[in-house]
Chains A and B, each alone.
Chain A
Amino acid sequence: MVLKALTANHAVAEAAKLARVKVVSAYPITPQTTIVEKLAEMIEKGEMEAKMVRVESEHSALAATLGAAAAGARAFTATSSHGLLYMHEVLWWTSGARVPVVMAVVTRAIGPPWNIHVEHSDVMDQRDTGWIIGVAQENQEAFDLTLQAFRISEDPRVYLPMIVSLDAFILSHTVAPVDVPSQQEVDAWLPSRRQPYVISPETNVVMGNIADDADYYMMRYSINAAMEAAKKVVEEVDEEYGKAFGRRYGGLVECYNCDDADYIMVLMGSWAGDAKKASDLLREKGYRVGVMRVRFVRPWPREVVQEKLSNRKGVIVFDRSISFGSAGQLFTDVAASLYGSTSIRGVVAGLGGVDVRPEDFMNEVTDFVSHVEEFGRVYEPLRWHLPPKYAKSLAEEVSA
């Protein structure tokens, strides 16, 4: 075991290098991350045998990545916030092409007003594009998930692109020990790239030509079938990764303190660490509370959510993003999966990187518990966990 002190950005770059990525394409200025900066450095120093394609926008960055991948290269890119939104059209092109691609997304708030801190709005905006979306809690997991992403994306049951999502600053710029396996170990674990077709002058293949309406429909059907198949592949890859490198995360979701829990917090990303701490502290006070950390937003782990959450006294979902006019996006998926079988509350918190501490989770959970105990079955899609600076003034305004 070799432990290196790495930011999550550099950990992801190490993983891309060990996966023997052959083409990296990126637009080099903000909101680009140090992932691509590190990869450029590795390529320049000759530590990594790959081509860096510098383009004029994120839209082109993903398009060039798709082109390289369609031509048969293991290709990679990374972006964040506005860069990801600018790529949005090409996300559809990539999944529609059924070409395996891996992209790291450092999740950041979207302007205006300008804010570069952690929020999940950028990645949640891509839920419907046909990309698999995996979310890391820690630097080590960002590394592991990146390696796993190549195996998941290039599995012939899947053949869909995958986003590895990691929280801005809390992970991306924070140094933590990361166990980095050797090149030989990674080569033994990660097979050669597989893909459904290769575009080259010899193969004469055209991708994306006009299609009959019914053919188009069935291509959408087949993307969804691949998403469903990906659920099993994710679990398998998690298990095989565990055998090879000693770390398993639980597949589509990670459950913490769940077995005997009356109430379960559901959330994703780095703040799951604070929620786990809150769960421990609440147990000391006699509340049996667990945490379900969503590791994959897509494919949505409907079956696991139903199995693990249906028979609880209540489920409280924390979203670090909101679908304006509806509720938090995780909430809507959890609520749809549970179809009224238990009490549920959605909390939107931590937007724009507002700090959410274990005490905040504890206060939200105890408030929810008392609410459920008082009223019985509860369905509350949207509760705002306001920043401390505003919480008092708004409470006064509402009561006035």
Chain B
Amino acid sequence: MSGTAAVVEKPKTYWVAPISYPAPASSGKTGLWRTERPVIHLEKCVKCLYCWLYCPEDTILRREDDYVYVDYDYCKGCGICAAVCPTNAIDMVPEGGES
């Protein structure tokens, strides 16, 4: 029957597909791009999870008790978590200095 769902069939000519599949670290450890890193002061954290929700890179990780921590391998240091934090519990600290 014509025009119904497409059949997936491999090309018959030489073929390099312009497609990819989502996977961690397909562009390497993007945390190396960071110039400032977020440092979370858990004593001020109220577990609202705004940072976890807003992080564009999915690098705010959520613990079982709803406290959060940062995956520094992939955090690019954009600072959105610090900007949305209602209790100013996240500081952006320049990289390259002491920890």
Contact B27 A210 (CB under 8 A): yes
A196 to B6, CA, bound (A): 10
Tell yes or no: A3 within 8 A of B by CB: no
Does A74 touch B at the CB level, under 8 Å?
A: yes
Count how many chain B residues have C-beta atoms less than 8 Å from C-beta atoms of the other chain.
24
For A156, give its contact among B2, B11, B17 (CB under 8 Å).
B11
- Whether A198 contacts B11 in the complex (CB less than 8 A), given A19-B3, A22-B3, comes out as no
Stretch of A165-173, A219-227, A375-383 lying at the B interface: A219-227
Q: State which size class the interface on A falls in.
A: 35 or more
Known pairs A219-B16, A222-B14; A187 contacts B2 (CB<8 A): yes
Shortest distance from the beta carbon of A6 to any chain B beta carbon, whole Å = 21
CA distance A89 to B1 in the complex (A): 33
Whether the Cβ atoms of B6 and A156 lie closer than 8 Å is no
Is B25 positioned at the interface, with any CB of A under 8 Å from its CB? no
- From A158, A187, A190, A196, give the contact of B17 (CB < 8 A): A196
Verify A187–B18 contact, CB threshold 8 A.
no
With contact pairs A206-B19, A206-B20, A208-B18 given, residues A19 and B2 touching in the complex (Cβ less than 8 Å): yes
In A218-262, the 8 Å CB interface with B consists of 218-219, 221-222, 225-226, 229
A157 adjacent to chain B (CB < 8 Å): yes
Cβ contact within 8 Å between B7 and A194: yes
Q: Inside 8 A of B16's CB, which chain A residues have their CB?
A: 215, 218-219, 221-222
- Contact (Cβ within 8 A) A222 B15: yes
CA distance A215 to B2 in the complex (A): 34
| A 185-201 binary contact with B (CB < 8 Å = 1; else 0) | 01100111111111000
Once the chains bind, are B19 and A226 in contact (CB under 8 Å)? no
* CB pair B19 A205 closer than 8 Å: yes
Whether the pair B8, A196 counts as a contact (CB closer than 8 A) is: yes
Q: Are A211 and B1 in contact (CB under 8 A)?
A: no
Asked if residues B19 and A222 are in contact (CB atoms below 8 Å), the reply is no
Q: A197 vs B3: C-alpha distance in the bound complex, in angstroms?
A: 16
Taking CB atoms and an 8 Å cut-off, the chain A residues in 58-85 that contact chain B are 72-74
With both chains docked as a complex, state the minimum distance between the C-beta of A194 and any C-beta of chain B, in angstroms: 5
Q: Which residues of A contact B14 (CB under 8 A)?
A: 221-222, 225
* A72 contacts across to B, CB distance below 8 A: 5-6
A210 to B28, CA, bound (A): 13
Question: B63 near A: Cβ within 8 Å?
Answer: no
- What CA separation (Å) do A219 and B15 show in the bound complex? 7
Are the CB atoms of A226 and B11 closer together than 8 Å? yes
Does A209 sit at the interface, judged by CB under 8 A?
A: yes
Minimal Cβ-Cβ distance residue in B for A220: B16
Give the CA-CA distance A229 to B11 in the complex, in Å. 11
Residues of A within 8 A of B12 (CB): 156-157, 229
- Cβ–Cβ < 8 Å partners of A208 in chain B: 18
Contacting pair A204 B5 (CB below 8 A): no
- Give the chain B neighbours of A205 by CB distance below 8 A: 19-21
- Central interface residue in B5, B18, B19, B21, by most chain A CB within 10 Å: B18
Q: How far is the CA of A96 from the CA of B16 in the complex (A)?
A: 11
A294 an interface residue at 8 Å Cβ cutoff? no
Tell me the smallest distance from the CB of B21 to a CB of chain A, in Å.
6
Residues of B near A98 (CB, < 8 A) are 11, 15, 17-18
Query: For chain A residues 126-161, which have a beta carbon within 8 Å of chain B?
Result: 156-159
Contact A96 B18 (CB under 8 A): yes
Q: Are B6 and A207 in contact (CB under 8 A)?
A: no
Q: With contacts A157-B13, A193-B6 known, is A207 near B18, CB below 8 A?
A: yes
Pair A211/B18 contact, Cβ less than 8 Å: yes
Interface string of B20-44 (1 = CB under 8 A from A): 1110001100000000000000000
Question: Which chain B residues border A192 with CB–CB below 8 Å?
Answer: 1-7
Complex Cα gap A259–B18 (Å)? 45
User: A35 interface residue, CB < 8 Å from B?
Assistant: no
Asked if A20 is at the interface (CB within 8 A of a chain B CB), the reply is: yes
Question: Can you sample 8 A-B contacts with CB below 8 Å?
Answer: A156-B11, A157-B11, A186-B2, A192-B6, A195-B8, A196-B15, A208-B18, A225-B13
Q: Mark A residues whose CB is within 8 Å of B.
A: 19-22, 72-74, 96-98, 156-159, 186-187, 190-198, 204-211, 215, 218-219, 221-222, 225-226, 229
Q: Nearest 5 CB-CB pairs, A to B? A: A20-B3, A72-B6, A193-B6, A209-B20, A218-B16
Given contact pairs A74-B6, A156-B9, a sample of 13 additional A-B residue pairs in the complex whose CB atoms are under 8 Å apart: A22-B3, A156-B10, A194-B6, A198-B6, A205-B20, A206-B19, A206-B21, A207-B18, A207-B19, A210-B27, A215-B16, A222-B16, A229-B13
